Structure 1
Amino acid sequence: MLAAERRDHLLDMLARQGKIVAKDVAAELGISEDSVRRDLRELAAEGLCQRVYGGALPASPAVADYAARQSVTPDGKRRVAAVAAGLVRPGSALILDGGTTALATARALPPDLDCTVITHSPTVAVALVEHPRAEVILLGGRLFKHSAVTCGAAAVEAAQAVSADLCLLGVAGVHPDAGLTTGDAEEAAMKRALAARSAETYVLASSEKIGTASRFRVLPWEEITGLVTDAGPGHPVVRAVTSRGVQVLQAG
């Protein structure tokens, strides 16, 4: 099999099965595992897969810059945001992550909602300027421009000084094996710091992120309260996550 044919075969397998096991592909094609790993390195360099130990998973689409991501599945993000906003109770304290789905959630909050919103996202904070009864606390730190959020040591330290009833957290990828992931180590650490300061944590993930993975683990499944997604209940990843005991809120 030619290299181009192997590439197409690997991409087809990734689309059909949601993962690639290098030793199984090597046995199937009668080639060495080194050859499969080399093919996977090339695909990963093009952003077509996320390499993991022993093989690869579908790559998260959340690698584009912040402006470009705002045009990716906006309807799905709005549906997720509507369900997420419904979790916020009057008089409660909310930790709201950054990113495009979190921004949609901020915009979905009722304008007259009396609450406290703690965020490390300047764009989320600005979106709440027209919410007269929402007290907004903006956590400072180094600006991570890819997601328009603050992170780093100063931001993590600031997060450790707050507490909330609810945390709404965005991720780049949701996969039953890889878990909840994002593409930057400091951003992942900041998300963990925010989730640790809340009584409940729900992960927000529109359908294009379901079944994909990025490089850095955010949280294990047992440390979240639930997942909010517009992917249907019949989606194999949603079924797998539900079988782990994770509450899944459907944003139909």
Structure 2
Amino acid sequence: MSRRKDQRQKTILDRLAISPTLRVGRLAEDMGVTTETIRRDLEELTAQGLIARTYGGAMLRQPAEPALSERHKELVEERAAIAAAAVPLLAGAHVVMMGSGATTTQVARRMAQEMGQITVIAHSVSVAATLSANPTIQVLMAPGLYHPGEGAMHGSATLRFLSDLTADWCVTGASALTPAGPLDALIEAGDVYATMLRQSARHMVVADGSKIGRIATARYGDWADIDTLVTDVAPHGPLERALTLGAVEVCVAEVRT
């Protein structure tokens, strides 16, 4: 691949990380090349599995998120380090709302070890079961439609339940971290997390560095809505600028190797 083509295709991928979809005509105009050149670039990126073609343009390919049971086996050290960095930030909280996911389950495990005399509002069976190891933590389990792959409750009953409660903090995971905000692969989970944000005084996102630069379906908030991001890889580029603009405190956990 020529250096010029390589740079052009990298630019396309960088722009798709910011804008979910791009048009061929606009790309050609911005880069000063023909639409045929852009179409060839998009065809090559599609063949590599990096993007998906749309009518007249392209979007980043959205990898299918594995079931929670599989995610629990991945990036264990990274997620444990994130949890170790996140839990001290919750000191003084009396009520915490928690989303589902492998990282939030690690946070719940750390909370069970280090916190007590608190109430946790959960919609994840994994989070609730993990917290139950500490008898001084009261768990309120949200009702709803059970999602077997995620092991969590979703739907209108879940949203109504959460809307009647308030919390000092909410802690949510993310399938993707983009300049536009945190996203989840499940639209239903995105609805739950957006409700948790509205009902909580402070908001924390916990997500490992593999989520940076990904794309997912449901954006559940702007970075201006988030107080703290705890991750294991320092954000850079457009994401770093968006976090700074949103006044998000970024805590980078140290992973022991």
Alpha-carbon separation, structure 1, partners of 2:64 and 2:43: 22
Which residue identity lines up with residue 170 of structure 1 in the other structure?
G
Q: Which string of whole-angstrom CA distances, capped at 9 and with x for unpartnered residues, describes residues 110-162 of structure 1?
A: 43622111100011111112101100110010112332211110110111111
What are the equivalent positions in structure 2 for 1:30-69 lying under 5 Å apart?
30-32=34-36, 35=39, 39=43, 48-49=50-51, 55-57=58-60, 59=62, 63-69=65-71
Change in 2 beyond 3 A, CA 1:204/1:33: farther
Task: Select the residue among 201, 204, 212 that pairs with 1:202.
Answer: 204
Which residue identity lines up with residue 92 of structure 1 in the other structure?
H
Alpha-carbon separation, structure 2, partners of 1:164 and 1:62: 32
Which residue identity lines up with residue 172 of structure 2 in the other structure?
L
Query: Is the contact made by 1:174 and 1:212 (CA closer than 8 Å) also made in structure 2?
Result: yes
Paired residue total: 242
| Residue 74 (structure 1) aligns with | 76
Helix, strand or coil at the partner of 1:201: strand
User: Over aligned residues, Cα RMSD in angstroms?
Assistant: 3.5
TM-score (norm 1): 0.80
| Residue 171 (structure 2) aligns with | 168
Q: Which string of whole-angstrom CA distances, capped at 9 and with x for unpartnered residues, describes residues 183-235 of structure 1?
A: 222211111111111100011111000122212211011111121111126x3
Alpha-carbon separation, structure 2, partners of 1:15 and 1:182: 20
Query: Is the contact made by 2:167 and 2:200 (CA closer than 8 Å) also made in structure 1?
Result: yes
Alpha-carbon separation, structure 2, partners of 1:56 and 1:225: 29
Tell me which protein shows more helix as a share of its residues: 2
| Residue 230 (structure 2) aligns with | 228
Alpha-carbon separation, structure 2, partners of 1:223 and 1:239: 16
Helix, strand or coil at the partner of 1:227: strand
| Residue 142 (structure 2) aligns with | 139
| Residue 193 (structure 1) aligns with | 195
Which deviates more, 13-22 or 222-231? 13-22
Contiguous gaps of at least 5 residues in structure 1: none
Query: Is the contact made by 1:174 and 1:213 (CA closer than 8 Å) also made in structure 2?
Result: yes
Could you tell me how far 1:56 is from its partner in structure 2?
3.3
Task: Select the residue among 148, 157, 160 that pairs with 2:160.
Answer: 157
Give the fraction of aligned pairs with identical amino acids, expressed as a percent: 24
Contiguous gaps of at least 5 residues in structure 2: none
Query: Is the contact made by 2:112 and 2:133 (CA closer than 8 Å) also made in structure 1?
Result: no
| Structure 1 runs, 4 residues or longer, greater than 6 Å off | 50-54
